[in-house]
Amino acid sequence: MNYIIFDDDIYYDSSGKIGIVPKDKLNAFLAGPRNDLSIVVIDTLQKQVAAPEKSPSRKDEVIASSFSGDYVTQSERIAANLFQVIAVEKPKVAEIYKYLGFENVRLIVPYGVALREFLKSNGILSQDKRIVFLDHLGNQVLVTIFNNDVFTTPRRLSIATKRVVSELNRSQENYKAQAKDKEEISFLIATNSREIMEEIVSSGLEKKENILCFSDSYPALTGLKQGKFSMHYLLPEQFIRLRKLKIVRKRIYSFGIMGGVLGVLLILLLGSFSMDKNALMHLESLQLKAISDNEALKRAYGTKYRDILRRKVKPDLPYFINSFIKALPFEYKVESITIRRNTSFGPYRFEAIVSQKTRCKPFIKLFLPAAFKQARFENILVKGNPGVKVTLDIF
């Protein structure tokens, strides 16, 4: 199992090994099958929304309208007829699926929900105090305030400890100003950084015995491993795709049942009339054909689904241009490179014209990267000089 905080860098826990890597080097650190990724996303927005529990359709309508169409939302019940709606920008969700692959992501959970599971497992969520958690994550500190299940949007701070202390005090004051409770609000500070704890104590903001310090490098990933979550972020088009797949599976299952029932009826019918050998062979042929048709249907739907996935992924066009130019021999110069698409869903056509710098030399063969294995080469003259036209259809 692989657990990831998806940010500008990737923070991972892979089979007990933890660390931080750039996005382009993640694969080297993942253990086991890659199609088992649980993801934490940091940048979320929260709202508390009142909605009638006894009317599910009305409740869903109110929750769906709490944020604009630019966000993907999930909700959780925090009290009677009261829900916390947690929103993530659609481009962030799309980036996760584009980078890691839709089929590889098992779960996407908000940072605040994962960190809340960590606090619950350590028994420090309190009815009397607000928990202020300072998470030292790489070159930043994330400040999140918890009021039981309700939490604030994680606030990013620089790692400078003195600034963290001043921003901590400001965050507490802002929280008090925005809170609707008239009673005095008290805070309990928790962190996973001993340096931050010592700076808070030295500043006089809080006593050491009133601060909780944890040794976990990535508390949110610990919570992600420990908790059971009903939240998962999907884009609208992915909901549609899953619904279609569900319908396909249901039809295949129905076809199987129908084929089985028909087979039994045929056996009983033919048996009642004392089937001869030819009739038995004919029945066997029908059953084999039904199995073959079902297998063909499964393959057809599988091919269609893979085609849908392929059409959603745009090829890396700059890679083809850069790799072509880098592989070009010194004796050639680029006259033109064009990439165009004839239809909305057709392949891209890569077309490059290069010429030799001198006329006296014969044509020099081009050796291009593996991506150009299916390319077509045509020797031409360009302004009187030997040249080559390279054409490649990119799917």
Q: Do 100 and 32 reside in the same domain of the chain?
A: yes
Find the domain containing 61 and state its range: 1-110
Q: Do 342 and 302 reside in the same domain of the chain?
A: no
What pLDDT shows up at residue 165?
Answer: 84
Q: Do 303 and 322 reside in the same domain of the chain?
A: no
Q: Are strands 37-41 and 82-89 parallel, antiparallel or unpaired?
A: unpaired
Residue 71 domain-assigned (yes or no) = yes
What's the distance, CA 18 to chain centroid? 20
Structure tokens at 204: 């006089």
When mean pLDDT is compared across 14-23, 94-103, 268-277, the lowest value belongs to 268-277
Residue 230 domain-assigned (yes or no) = no
Q: What is the pLDDT of residues 47-102, one digit of tens each?
A: 999 999 899 889 989 998 999 989 999 999 989 999 999 999 999 999 988 888 88
What pLDDT shows up at residue 67?
Answer: 93
Element (H, E) at 308: helix 277-312
Q: Do 304 and 324 reside in the same domain of the chain?
A: no
167: domain CATH number is 3.30.420.40
When mean pLDDT is compared across 94-98, 113-117, 282-286, the lowest value belongs to 282-286
Q: What mean pLDDT is predicted for residues 173-188?
A: 79
Residue 224 domain-assigned (yes or no) = no
Q: Do 148 and 189 reside in the same domain of the chain?
A: yes
Q: Do 185 and 242 reside in the same domain of the chain?
A: no
Q: Tell which of 213, 244, 268 closes a domain.
A: 213
Rounded distance between C-alpha atoms, residue 218 and residue 51, angstroms: 35
What pLDDT shows up at residue 282?
Answer: 77
Q: Do 11 and 91 reside in the same domain of the chain?
A: yes
What's the distance, CA 232 to chain centroid? 10
Q: Do 242 and 308 reside in the same domain of the chain?
A: yes
Residue 106 domain-assigned (yes or no) = yes
Residue 297 domain-assigned (yes or no) = yes
Q: Give the pLDDT band (50/70/90) at residue 249.
A: low
Q: Do 18 and 106 reside in the same domain of the chain?
A: yes
Q: Tell which of 288, 312, 336 closes a domain.
A: 312
Amino acid letter, 203: S
68: domain CATH number is 3.30.420.380
**CB-CB contact of 36 with 99 (8 Å):** no
Count how many domains the chain has: 4
Residue 99 domain-assigned (yes or no) = yes
Q: Give the pLDDT band (50/70/90) at residue 179.
A: confident
Output helix, strand, coil percentages for the chain, rounded to the nearest 5: 40, 30, 30
When mean pLDDT is compared across 118-127, 273-282, 383-392, the lowest value belongs to 273-282
Q: Give the pLDDT band (50/70/90) at residue 186.
A: confident
Q: What is the pLDDT of residues 202-236, one digit of tens each?
A: 988 889 988 999 999 999 999 999 988 888 888 76
Residue 221 neighbours by CB distance under 10 Å:
22
Q: Tell which of 163, 181, 213 closes a domain.
A: 213
Rounded distance between C-alpha atoms, residue 160 and residue 164, angstroms: 6
Q: Which of 191, 213, 229 is nearest to 114 (CA)?
A: 229
- Report percent pLDDT > 70 for the chain: 84
Q: Is the whole model's pTM more than 0.95, yes or no?
A: no
Residue 93 domain-assigned (yes or no) = yes
Residue 117 domain-assigned (yes or no) = no
Q: Do 6 and 82 reside in the same domain of the chain?
A: yes
Rg of the Cα trace of the chain?
30
Does position 389 have pLDDT exceeding 80, yes or no?
A: yes
